[in-house]
Amino acid sequence: MAPQAHSPAVPHALDDAALVALGREALGIEADAVAALARRLDTDFARACRLLLACRGRVVVTGMGKSGHVAGKIAATLASTGTPAFFLHPAEAGHGDIGMITRDDAVIALSNSGETAELLVLVPVLKRMGVPLVALTGNPGSTLARSADVHLDVSVPAEACPLNLAPTASTTASLAMGDALAVALLRLHGFTEEDFARSHPGGSLGRRLLLHVADVMHRGDEIPRVGAESTVSEGLLEMSRKGLGITSVVAADGRLLGVFTDGDLRRALDHRVDVHVTPMREVMTKNCRTIGARELAAEAVLLMEKHRITALLVVDEAQHVVGALNVHDLLRAGVM
């Protein structure tokens, strides 16, 4: 007689409200875990911060499994906020990669149980080298916690996982503690927005703080310019050709005399100016807004917003026109 086939288990049917309730329950458990972490934070946290601040090399962050993923994120956060750091896989460290650690470094080790074998193998080596160890565990009585120079308790009463097995609340607590260390060290280092931008040159903050006018301005033949005796119609043709909504009016040696914009054109037409014979010197705006090539592009944005203009001429110390830019150039560069 052939064995009877078993039907696959049918998952429990849950409506939308039940799914939302499960999500809220998980988030509530993790939020409570972080809140409890904040309440029991003590001087051990301050000791850990000062130990890491005194590190003359790099902070090495390590952990296995899910703790390893959290350790990688903590290392990345430290590195981007003024504390040189990198992630070291403990299993690889036991097979030669521990050579990446120098006597000038410090180590942060993550293990919920505090008994992760791959981490415990590293402890005697770190002790011989005199490398300080900060341990983040959920078990203050564990081998790793007792071996560390500073132990930070990241224990949680329960995981968000309904089976209380998958690391969920415990990894959230470890991640939050890592962020707390990074933020405290950031303040101790006197880390600024400019420092952050230098380590994030591809980000929007980096573009806003590091990009200069010279990086986005039009140069050479792309600069709209006419002479003071050029007619208004010639100025309009130059504006049209260069497409910046502006033209500079310059002396023979390239010094800026004035600017001509769409607003100047409207005012000229209101006065029934003959565009074919009237020279630019009669309709241009003198003492116009300008900016230097070495100024931050963010300064150009500020000038445009403050004076409600859409283009700027770039001049050097002798007031020679060396560039031009408009709001579209700044938008393309991601500064606005």
- CATH number assigned to the domain comprising residue 306: 3.10.580.10
pLDDT at 181: 96
**Could you tell me which residue, 163 or 300, shows the higher pLDDT?**
300
Q: What is the pLDDT of residues 54-65, one digit of tens each?
A: 999 999 999 999
Q: What is the mean pLDDT of residues 302-309?
A: 89
Q: Is the pLDDT of residue 6 over 90?
A: no
Average pLDDT of 155-177?
87
| Helix H or strand E encompassing 86 | strand 85-88
Model confidence pLDDT, tens digit, residues 63-103: 999 999 999 999 999 988 888 899 999 988 877 778 889 99
pLDDT at position 97, please?
A: 79
Residue 31 domain flag: yes
Tokens of 288: 């116009």
Give the pair of three-digit tokens for residue 110.
């993550």
pTM greater than 0.75 (yes/no): no
pLDDT at site 36: 93
Structure tokens at 260: 């001509």
Tokens representing residue 106 in the block: 């410090």
Q: Which domain holds residue 225?
A: 213-332
pLDDT for the residue 198: 54
Residue 9, in any domain of the structure: no
pLDDT, residue 332, reads 83
Does residue 176 share a domain with residue 40? yes
Angle value at C-alpha 158, between 157 and 161, nearest 5 degrees: 170
pLDDT band for 335, please (50, 70, 90 cuts).
confident
Do 180 and 86 fall into the same domain?
Answer: yes
What per-residue confidence (pLDDT) applies to 207?
A: 54
Lowest mean pLDDT, pick from 163-172, 254-263, 316-325: 163-172
Distance CA 30, CA 40 (A): 16
Query: Is 58 contained in some domain?
Result: yes
Across the range 192-196, mean pLDDT stands at 58
Residue 207 located in a structural domain: no
Q: Say which CATH number the domain at 87 has.
A: 3.40.50.10490
User: Residue 77 phi/psi, 5° resolution?
Assistant: -65, -45
pLDDT band at 190 (very low <50, low <70, confident <90, very high): confident
Looking at the structure, do residues 217 and 187 belong to the same domain, yes or no? no
pLDDT at residue number 35: 94
Within this chain, do residues 183 and 236 fall inside the same structural domain, yes or no? Answer: no
For the segment 28-59, what is each residue's pLDDT rounded down to a tens digit?
999 999 999 999 999 999 999 999 999 999 99
How buried is residue 185: exposed, middle or buried, by Cβ count under 10 Å (0-12/13-18/19+)? Answer: buried
113 and 33 in one domain? Answer: yes
Please indicate, yes or no, if residue 200 is contained in any of the structural domains. Answer: no
- Tell me 102's DSSP state: -
pLDDT higher than threshold 70 for residue 191: no
Residues 107-133 have a mean pLDDT of 94
Residue 291 lies in a domain: yes
- Regarding whether 217 and 104 lie in a shared domain, the answer is no
Task: Collect all residues with Cβ–Cβ distance below 8 Å to 292 and sequence separation of at least 6.
Answer: 213, 314, 315, 316
Task: Output the pLDDT for position 178.
Answer: 95
Residues 114 and 225 in one domain: no
Q: Is residue 8 part of a domain?
A: no
State the pairing for strand pair 106-111/256-261: unpaired
- Tally of domains in the chain: 2
Are 218 and 270 in the same domain? yes
Q: Which helix (H) or strand (E) holds 290?
A: strand 290-291
Of 157, 191, 225, which residue is a domain's last? 191
Block residue for tokens 């029991």:
40
DSSP 58: -
Domain shared by 322 and 264, yes or no: yes
At residue 2, does pLDDT exceed 60?
A: no
In a domain, 62, yes or no: yes
> What pLDDT shows up at residue 195?
55
Task: Compute the mean pLDDT over every residue in the chain, rounded to the nearest whole number.
Answer: 88
Shared domain for 31 and 178, answered yes or no, is: yes
Tokens of residue 190, six digits: 């006197």
Residues 218 and 165 occupy one common structural domain: no
pLDDT at residue number 93: 82
| pLDDT at residue 205 is higher than 70 | no
Could you tell me the pLDDT band of residue 286, with boundaries at 50, 70 and 90?
A: very high
Same domain for 308 and 174: no
Among 73-82, 190-199, 213-222, 300-309, whose mean pLDDT is lowest?
190-199
- Name, of 110-119, 207-216, 305-314, the range with top average pLDDT: 110-119
